[in-house]
Copies of this chain bind each other. A is one copy, B any other.
């Protein structure tokens, strides 16, 4: 039985194994520093479909089938899939998974989705309720711009704090305990944090308090410290939100700067790719996880990673109605080792 530590943290007793994963990306992601490590880069932003929304669904399907393919599994061998995305009513997930027949548990956590999905999958696997579960998510620059901001054809100018929604999808398969790292060792469920940020061109700032709250909660619940982990990777705080996170934690006496990174800073080369404060979107953290973090955990280049994708729980309607932007961050601890530290 998974052990509950403190208010929000769950320590796995038979740590589930992340058995396989896949990362799919678009042209810009292919040109970024991790481009060569994606399982598939599709230079055509439509992915051969007649709309960007259908393109995003196609990406989901490709990520799922590539992850399955690595283990020579058929969809029937997956007990359930946790999936969601940024599009209204999560249609890229729905239509992407429609043909698979995998029992579907739809989730919504904005850009924290891959974290929430892996957290839920690991709790069910650790409990022995299911043997093998999947988590998947996606985002697409063109669908997100059209839905959240302006149609691309307007050519609107972006402020420096704005981030670039990644065209990417990531899928992950978790299984009950085995002997190949990475292991999912613990998870912390996030709580909504809202410090009143209303600028939707500065979502990193809106999400940083949630990341800080989840991270300090994890350290408190487990009695561990930042120094015990080689890397702390947030999802898509970008340059602005990352600095804010470091500052917020410093006030709590937690120093993470030297070991912190952000998937939104890893996915693009900010000096040579025009992405302002960095990447964002559900697919950003999910694809960086598959293209870089999980392979490094498997071969031991990274031994202990705190991975916490961050979500901004706004909608265009809530922004128009002058609501502030609530944030959430779910944390999972991924490790090269099955035991130790806690």
Q: Does A240 contact B (CB under 8 A)?
A: no
Q: Given the known inter-chain contacts A123-B124, A321-B51, please indicate yes or no for A108 contacting B90, CB distance below 8 A.
A: yes
Q: Does A326 contact B (CB under 8 A)?
A: yes
Using Cβ atoms and an 8 Å threshold, which residues of chain B touch A258?
A: none
Q: Given the known inter-chain contacts A4-B79, A87-B315, A88-B88, please indicate yes or no for A103 contacting B191, CB distance below 8 A.
A: yes
Q: Given the known inter-chain contacts A10-B129, A316-B88, please indicate yes or no for A109 contacting B106, CB distance below 8 A.
A: yes
From B88, B101, B107, B129, give the contact of A317 (CB < 8 A): B88
Distance between Cα atoms of A127 and B286 in the complex (Å): 28
Using Cβ atoms and an 8 Å threshold, which residues of chain B touch A194?
A: 98
Using Cβ atoms and an 8 Å threshold, which residues of chain B touch A84?
A: 106, 108
Distance between Cα atoms of A91 and B8 in the complex (Å): 23
From B50, B108, B126, give the contact of A108 (CB < 8 A): B108
Q: How far is the CB of A223 from chain B (nearest CB, A)?
A: 19
Q: Does A47 contact B (CB under 8 A)?
A: no
Q: Given the known inter-chain contacts A53-B318, A103-B8, please indicate yes or no for A192 contacting B94, CB distance below 8 A.
A: yes
Distance between Cα atoms of A118 and B133 in the complex (Å): 19
Distance between Cα atoms of A79 and B326 in the complex (Å): 20
| Given A1-B128, A54-B321: 20 more A-B contacts, CB < 8 Å | A2-B129, A7-B103, A8-B103, A10-B129, A53-B318, A80-B189, A84-B108, A88-B315, A91-B313, A95-B323, A95-B326, A98-B326, A101-B191, A104-B192, A105-B109, A106-B107, A106-B108, A106-B313, A120-B120, A123-B127
Q: Is the CB of B123 within 8 A of A318?
A: no
Q: How far is the CB of A33 from chain B (nearest CB, A)?
A: 30
From B108, B110, B127, give the contact of A2 (CB < 8 A): B127
Q: How large, as a class, is the contact surface on chain A?
A: 35 or more
Q: Is the CB of B105 within 8 A of A189?
A: yes
Q: Is the CB of A191 within 8 A of B315?
A: no
Q: Is the CB of A105 within 8 A of B104?
A: no
Q: Does A302 contact B (CB under 8 A)?
A: no
Binding site for B on A (CB under 8 A): 1-2, 4, 7-8, 10, 50-51, 53-54, 76, 79-80, 84, 86-91, 94-95, 97-98, 101-110, 116, 119-120, 123-124, 126-130, 189-192, 194, 313-318, 321, 323, 326, 328
Using Cβ atoms and an 8 Å threshold, which residues of chain B touch A317?
A: 53, 87-88, 91
| Residue of B whose beta carbon sits closest to that of A127 | B127
Q: How far is the CB of A58 from chain B (nearest CB, A)?
A: 13
Show 16 residue pairs from A and B whose CB-CB distance is below 8 angstroms, ordered by the A residue.
Answer: A2-B127, A2-B129, A4-B79, A4-B129, A7-B76, A86-B89, A87-B315, A87-B317, A89-B110, A89-B314, A98-B326, A103-B189, A104-B328, A105-B109, A123-B127, A126-B129
Distance between Cα atoms of A114 and B103 in the complex (Å): 17
| Residue of B whose beta carbon sits closest to that of A328 | B104
Using Cβ atoms and an 8 Å threshold, which residues of chain B touch A86?
A: 89
Using Cβ atoms and an 8 Å threshold, which residues of chain B touch A130?
A: 4
Using Cβ atoms and an 8 Å threshold, which residues of chain B touch A318?
A: 53, 89, 91, 95
